[in-house]
Structure 1
C-alpha cells in the first residue's frame, strides 16, 4: 500500500475490470448505510430489502490512478424524485492516493485493504483483507458477452457531504464490455461484510475493458431543508 496520498484532480480517468454481483438484503442489516446516505435520500426498497451490489475492481495501467477496490453499494433516490443514484456505505482500496482522493473529493468512505489476486482473462481468485483480517474472497469465471460492443453505463453517486448537511452528487461515465460472470463470494463471518455471509447473488456480470470517468460533473453539499 502506498503511503503517498497525492492524487490527481477530478475527474479521474480509470481503466480496468469490475466484477459485480447483486444481492437482496434487508435494509436494516446494511451497516453504515444511514451514515452514507445524504439527508433527504432513501434506499430503493423491494419488500423492505435493498438491491445491494458488491464489486471487486482492478484499475490498472492506462488510468490516472492504479489500485484495487472492494465495495458495496445500494440504489437510492432523493425524496420526491424517481431518479436513482448509487450510495456506497462500505469500500476498501489498496492505495493511499485512492483513499485520500475518494474521501476528500466525493466523501466516499474509503478504507485501506490488501488484495491478493490470481487472475487470467477468464478467471479470477482474490482475497481481500483489512487491518490483517479477512473481509471477502471471490472466485469467478468470466463468460461470453451479454451484448455486442462496448456499452455506456450510467453511474451517478450520492454521498453524505462532509458537513453532514447536504449531498455530494457525482455524475460519472462508464463504458465497458458486459460479460456473463459466475461468481462465488465468501464473506468472513466475523468481518466487516458478515451481514452478506451465506447470501447468494441474484445476478452477476463482468465489466471488462472498462473506461471510467469519475467526477466529471459534481454538485457539492447540496443543502437539504430540515
Structure 2
C-alpha cells in the first residue's frame, strides 16, 4: 500500500467557488448512489462546488488538487459527492480511490492551473477568522454508497476568483458561467476519514 491508512491528517490552503447550475447541466453521479443520496434542488437548479487545494508539508501527504462536487442530501442531511477530481500524487490517487471511492485522476497541476481543464486567477483573498468545518462525502465504493466524515478548521474569508474553463475539457459545463460565491480556507488542518484502527 503506497498511501497512508485513514484518517488522513492534511494541512494547506484551498480556494472554493460555488456555482448554481440548471439541473440539466449537473454532472451525473454513479447509479449506485441513487438510493442513498439525491441532488439538492433549488427550484430548477443545483449547487456545484469547485476547489483548488494545495496540501502542504506537515500532513500525511503533500500534493495539489482540483475538484468539482455536487451538493447532495441523504434525507435532510447534507452530503457532497465528488464527480471530477485531479491530483498530482499517485499516492493520493490510489488512496482516494481505494479507501473512499473518490474518482481521482492524475494531472499536471500548478497552484491554480490544470492544462486542458481549467485555470483560475485569485484576484484577492482575505482570510479572517479560524472556524470549524465539517461535512460528509458520499461516493460509490465497490458497488455501494460509502460516506466519509471530514473535519477541519481553517482561517476563512471571501475571495475574488476569475475562472477560465477549457471549453473542450471535462469541466466544460461551467464554461461561460461565474460562481456566485468564492472563499479562501487558509492554513486549514483537516482530518479525512475514520480512525486508523477502524480503517486498518
Q: How high is the TM-score relative to the length of structure 1?
A: 0.82
Cα distance in 1 for partners of 2:70, 2:50 equals 9
Offset at residue 34 of structure 1 (A):
3.9
Cα distance in 1 for partners of 2:192, 2:57 equals 16
- Structure 2 counterpart of 1:155: 135
CA RMSD of aligned residues (A): 1.9
Deviations 1:151-179 (A, max 9, x none): 1111210112222xx21001110110002
Cα distance in 2 for partners of 1:31, 1:95 equals 24
Q: 1:169 to 1:186 in 2, by over 3 A?
A: same
Structure 1 gaps, min length 5: 118-125, 219-226
Structure 2 gaps, min length 5: none
- Structure 2 counterpart of 1:144: 126
Q: 1:213 to 1:111 in 2, by over 3 A?
A: same
Cα distance in 2 for partners of 1:170, 1:206 equals 23
Q: 1:145 to 1:194 in 2, by over 3 A?
A: same
Indicate conservation of the 8 Å contact 1:32/1:90, yes or no: no
- Structure 1 counterpart of 2:185: 207
- Structure 1 counterpart of 2:79: 85
Find the partner of 1:185 among 136, 160, 163.
163
Find the partner of 1:44 among 40, 44, 48.
40
Q: How high is the TM-score relative to the length of structure 2?
A: 0.92
Cα distance in 2 for partners of 1:36, 1:65 equals 30
- Structure 2 counterpart of 1:18: 14
Cα distance in 2 for partners of 1:6, 1:50 equals 37
Cα distance in 1 for partners of 2:125, 2:48 equals 23
Cα distance in 2 for partners of 1:211, 1:177 equals 10
Name the count of aligned residue pairs. Answer: 197
Identify, as 1 or 2, the structure richer in strand. 1
Superposed structure 1 runs of 4+ greater than 2 Å apart: 30-40, 141-146
Offset at residue 36 of structure 1 (A):
7.6
Indicate conservation of the 8 Å contact 1:22/1:204, yes or no: yes
